[in-house]
DNA sequence: AATGAATGAGACTTCATTCAT
DNA sequence: AATGAATGAAGTCTCATTCAT
């Protein structure tokens, strides 16, 4: 029964590294220690494997998003936003394979799933955006950050997150966390209210 | 002949959208209006097409980098850095196919070229980093930006660039430029010296 | 158990419509509401299923032949021959699936069973032929039909039967019986003694 | 260039004997002396091979039908009808493979082409029926055959043809022609006008 | 320079079958 | 009696590539 899970794990890793088209069912089967036809006992085909993984990633991402939103409820904006970055970073690093695949699907979706993927990803981003925006609105009211439009701050913060999580792929864990802190410091220095 | 160029153009576009493994020589030939074997009159094979394109992208990138460095020679840091973003943005948008492939190769290189690609890309980034760093060093001296480590500022700026150019893929041209300006304003507000 | 019977029923229908090669054990299992491996509790394999069905058809055909021969014992030739056609027609229509498979196996036997099938079918035809021939011999003696060789009459009658039962596959029941009566009338008009 | 023709010839023969599902591309390729992928240089796939063959058979059948209709224009009904049988018999025997496949497709069409095949075959039969009916109408007027409905005579004659051409598959050429003549004699004896 | 014909390698997938449960 | 898991064998088809023209 764990074979299905093993297939998904192996396929996630392989799709992330070699891409959907670059990965063969043989690759996946080899990684699991079974033969290619056995995959069909659990999935309808290669596409179906990807779809299941994609669904799983989406579900987990939603759960993760809930955790992050929880994080954004109470406390100072500084802690909230930094916590957001760190939580997200930890998530990206702890689920390296899944997240690499997530980024790949987001940026370069395989033709077949293009529309489906694009749509659901945009929803995710919108939810995220709304939550972050709320933080900035409150932070402006509380004078935790300088004056400005919360919408624009959100735009800039999302850009920062995008940059960071693209970088999570280039650098090893240690270096990444170093950069994360540098970037955060630089960022907070610019956005925070100095008085 | 112009066929060779057409093949490279078509292949660039297709590799960018469908990936190297997801693109067939037939796809390329169809796009050009020839038959697959004709490609072998100009290239040694599929891999060779990618290698030529990759080389081309690299060369152009170097040229583009020269333009950018030129930009960074004289003037105020504010203009230099903003000019950098705009120049890069224009480049990314005018050569959409090439740049999409550039990002793809950078983030998800096909197995065969992995080491080669990783290496040369890191060189590019290093050059870029050095140039940007120089701008910040001077800007700190000139008190155009607040006090701080130029290295850290460079790190943050690169993160911003990465975020932006990842976003150049999500948003259409108009929206992208809007975001670019918002992000720049937010950024400059934070980094500039207020007195 | 009744499952065995259900398998044979479903397989008969499917072999008839889709052919032996065109039918999968999954098709059969689906039709029965079981899973493919369950078939192996009753049969040695796909070929064995066909063999059992084939044997069943053969046995029933022999029984049916006995009924028909019974029919040919007493009475007028006209009634005998017409009765033969009607009885056979009813049989073909009541056991549509079985008879469609019968025709298929007869005309286009799957390679594996070719020799076996050909042989046993020729026996059936020979028995049939002999019985019909006897009817004509007597009918000629009794002057129920015109003068002629009983062998030739049998040959013609068999041709008529073949034509009819090929047609039983084209036309729906109602139309088939209409044609049967027309053909019989035409036939009997030609063969009967007019005086 | 003749490879395409060879493929069609080989496939016709194999589809006739082993059925569409029972024939593999390897079987066909072997018969032609090529490898399976080469078939794709001429056809889109296995189904496409069948479709082309089917179209060819249909076209030839239409041509053959024209020949037969020509045959039915002038002369005595006896000669016309007997000529019809002989011409058809010669056709069936000279193109044994094609005609065996024709019968197979007519009686047991592979699922994919079922509707298409059924439709076009019914058209063929209707044309044939009309032509034969005309012969009987004239023959009744000319008192070449006994009184009766031409429609019914046509029905009976078609049944005879069906029977005969089903038999063309059982018996070898010599025996088939013997039976053909016997059946014809028996038939004509019954239908002709005796005075 | 271009391509029709051909193919080895290999991909995805189906299928009959086995076996432990 | 029934099936989930697994697989060897084989089928259809794609693809990069070669070669003669």
What is the structure's pLDDT at C64?
87
Indicate the angle between helix axes C150-167 and C96-107, nearest 10 degrees.
120
Tell me the DSSP string of D92-114: HHHTHHHHHHHHHHHHS--GGGH
Judge whether residue D68 has pLDDT over 90. no
Inter-residue contact C4 to C49 (CB < 8 Å): no
Neighbouring chains to A with at least 3 Cβ pairs closer than 8 Å: B
Confidence label for C177 from pLDDT (cuts 50, 70 and 90)? very high
In terms of Cα–Cα distance, which of A4, A175, A161, A166 is closest to A81? A161
What is the nearest CA distance from B6 to chain A, expressed in angstroms? 23
- CA dist., res. D20 & res. C102, Å (int): 19
Per the prediction, chain D carries an average pLDDT of 92
The pLDDT of residue C77 is above 80: yes
Stretch A41-60: mean pLDDT, rounded?
A: 96
pLDDT of the residue at A5:
97
Q: List CB contacts of D39: < 8 A, sequence separation 6 or more.
A: D7, D25, D28, D29, D49
Closest CA to D87 of D180, D13, D182: D180
Separation CA A131–CA A154 (nearest Å):
9
Q: What is the mean pLDDT of the segment spanning D64-73?
A: 84
Q: How far is the CA of A37 from the C1' of F8 (A)?
A: 10
- The string of DSSP letters for chain C reads -HHHHHHHHHHHHHHHHH-TTT--HHHHHHHHTS-GGGGGGT-SSHHHHHHHHHHHHHHHHHHHHHHHHHHTTSS-HHHHHHHHHHHHHHHHHHTHHHHHHHHHHHHS--GGGHHHHHHHHHHHHHHHHHHHHHHHHHHHHTTSB-SS-HHHHHHHHHHHHHHHHHHTTTS-HHHHHHHHHHHHHHHHHHHB---
pLDDT per residue as tens digits for the range B108-148: 999 888 888 889 988 888 999 999 999 999 999 999 998 89
Residues B12-33: pLDDT tens digits? 999 999 999 999 999 999 999 9
Q: With a cut of 70, say whether residue D13 has pLDDT above it.
A: yes
Backbone angles phi, psi at A175, to 5 degrees: -65, -35
The answer to whether residue B70 scores a pLDDT higher than 90 is no
Region at A194 (left for phi over 0; alpha for psi -120 to 50; beta for the rest): beta
User: Å between C43 CA and E8 C1'?
Assistant: 40
What does the pLDDT read at residue A90? 92
Does the CB of C163 sit below 7 A from strand E?
A: no
Band (pLDDT 50/70/90 cuts) for residue C81 is very high
A182 CB neighbour count, 10 Å cutoff: 18
Q: Do chains A and B touch by CB distance (3+ pairs < 8 Å)?
A: yes
Model pLDDT, residue D112? 87
Taking CB atoms and an 8 Å cut-off, how many pairs form between chains A and B? 107
**How many residues make up chain A in this entry?**
195
D22-52: per-residue pLDDT in tens?
999 999 999 999 999 999 999 999 999 999 9
Mean predicted confidence (pLDDT) in D122-151:
92
Q: In the structure encoding, which two tokens stand for residue C158, read together?
A: 């068999």
Chain A residues 5-64 within 7 Å (CB) of strand E:
23-26, 36-37, 40, 44-47
- Which of A99-113, B57-71, D146-160 comes out lowest in average pLDDT? B57-71
* pLDDT at res. D109: 96
Could you tell me which residues come within 8 angstroms of residue C175 by beta carbon, excluding any fewer than 6 positions away?
A: none
Q: What is the pLDDT of residue D65?
A: 87
Residues 6+ apart with CB under 8 A from A159: B160, B163, B164, B167, B179, B183
Q: Report the residue from A108, A160, A161 with minimal CB separation from B19.
A: A108
CA distance C102 to C12: 10
Q: What secondary structure, in 3-state letters, does C18-59 show?
A: HCCCCCCHHHHHHHHCCCHHHHHHCCCCHHHHHHHHHHHHHH
Give whole-number Cα distances, A44 to A49, A51, B48, C105, in Å.
8, 10, 35, 34
| Whole-number Å distance between alpha carbons of A193 and B194 | 12
In this prediction, residue B191 carries a pLDDT of 75
Q: Is the CB of C152 less than 8 angstroms away from the CB of D18?
A: no
Per-residue pLDDT at B121: 85
Q: Buried b vs exposed e over B129-143: b needs ≥16 C-beta within 10 Å?
A: eebbbbbbbebbeee
Residues with CB under 7 A from strand F: A 1, 3, 34-35, 37-38, 40-42; B 23-26, 36-37, 40, 45-47; C 1, 3, 34-35, 37-38, 40-42; D 23-26, 36-37, 40, 44-47
Nearest chain D Cα distance for residue C25, angstroms: 15
**Which of A28-32, D6-10, D186-190 is the least confident region?**
D186-190
Per-residue burial over D133-160, b if 16 or more Cβ lie within 10 Å, else e, is bbbbbebbeeebbbeeebebbbbbbbbb
Lowest mean pLDDT segment, chosen from C22-36, C48-62, C180-194: C180-194
Q: Is the pLDDT of residue C192 over 80?
A: no
Q: How far is D169 from chain C (nearest CA, A)?
A: 8
Is pLDDT of B190 > 90? no
Q: What is the pLDDT of residue D195?
A: 60
Per-residue pLDDT, B67: 82
> Which nucleotides of chain F does any protein CB come within 7 A of?
1-20
Return the structure tokens found at B148: 């701080």
pLDDT at residue C43 tops 80: yes
What is the distance between the alpha carbons of residues C159 and D179, in angstroms, rounded to a whole number?
9
pLDDT at D72: 82
- Taking the alpha carbons at both ends of chain D, their separation in whole angstroms is 61
Search chain D and give the residue with CA nearest C24.
D21
D100 exposure class (CB count in 10 Å sphere: 0-12, 13-18, 19+): buried
Q: pLDDT digit string (tens) for A113-125?
A: 898 888 998 898 9
Confidence (pLDDT) at C71: 78
Task: Report whether pLDDT(A169) > 80.
Answer: yes
Instruction: Identify which of C19, C163, C185 has the shortest CB distance to residue D19.
Output: C19
Query: Which of A185-194, B55-64, C150-159 is predicted most confidently?
Result: C150-159
* Each residue's pLDDT tens digit, C120-138: 988 888 999 999 999 999 9
**The pLDDT value given to residue B194:** 65
Taking residue C168's Cβ as centre, other Cβ atoms within 10 Å add up to: 22
D68: three-class secondary structure by DSSP:
helix
Chain A hits for B22, CB-CB cut-off 8 Å, are 19-21, 110-111
**Which residue has 């047609």 as its token pair?**
C167
Domains of chain C: 53-191 (1.10.357.10)
Q: Is the pLDDT of residue A103 over 70?
A: yes
* pLDDT score of B170: 87
pLDDT digits over A12-31, tens only? Answer: 999 999 999 999 999 999 99
Confidence band of D82 (pLDDT split at 50, 70, 90): very high
- Cα atoms found within 13 Å of the Cα of residue B98, Cβ hemisphere only: 19
Per-residue pLDDT averaged across D140-153, rounded?
92
| CA distances from residue C166 to C72, C89, C121, C159, D81 in whole angstroms, order as listed | 23, 11, 16, 11, 21
pLDDT at C160 over 70: yes
Q: Is the pLDDT of residue B195 over 70?
A: no
Nucleotides of E under 7 A from a protein CB: 1-20
Test the B interface: residue of A190, A191, A194 with most B CBs within 10 Å? A190
DSSP per-residue letters across A22-84 = T--HHHHHHHHTS-GGGGGGT-SSHHHHHHHHHHHHHHHHHHHHHHHHHHTTSS-HHHHHHHH
């Amino acid at each position: 029964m764990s074979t299905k899970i093993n297939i998904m794990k192996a396929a996630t890793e392989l799709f992330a590294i070699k891409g959907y088209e670059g990965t063969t069912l043989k690759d996946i089967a080899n990684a699991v220690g079974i033969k290619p036809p056995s995959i069909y006992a659990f999935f309808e085909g290669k596409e179906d494997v990807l779809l299941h993984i994609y669904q799983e990633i989406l579900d987990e991402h939603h759960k993760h998003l809930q955790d992050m939103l929880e994080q954004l409820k109470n406390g100072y904006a500084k802690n909230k936003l930094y916590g957001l970055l760190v939580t997200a970073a930890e998530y990206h690093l702890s689920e390296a394979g899944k997240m690499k695949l997530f980024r790949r699907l987001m940026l370069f979706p395989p033709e077949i799933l293009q529309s489906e993927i694009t749509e659901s990803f945009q929803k995710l981003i919108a939810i995220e955006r709304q939550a972050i925006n709320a933080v900035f609105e409150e932070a402006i009211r509380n004078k935790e950050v300088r004056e400005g439009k919360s919408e624009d701050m959100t735009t800039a913060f999302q850009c920062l997150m995008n940059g960071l999580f693209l970088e999570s792929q280039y650098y090893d864990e240690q270096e990444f966390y170093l950069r994360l802190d540098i970037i955060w410091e630089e960022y907070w220095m610019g956005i925070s209210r100095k008085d």
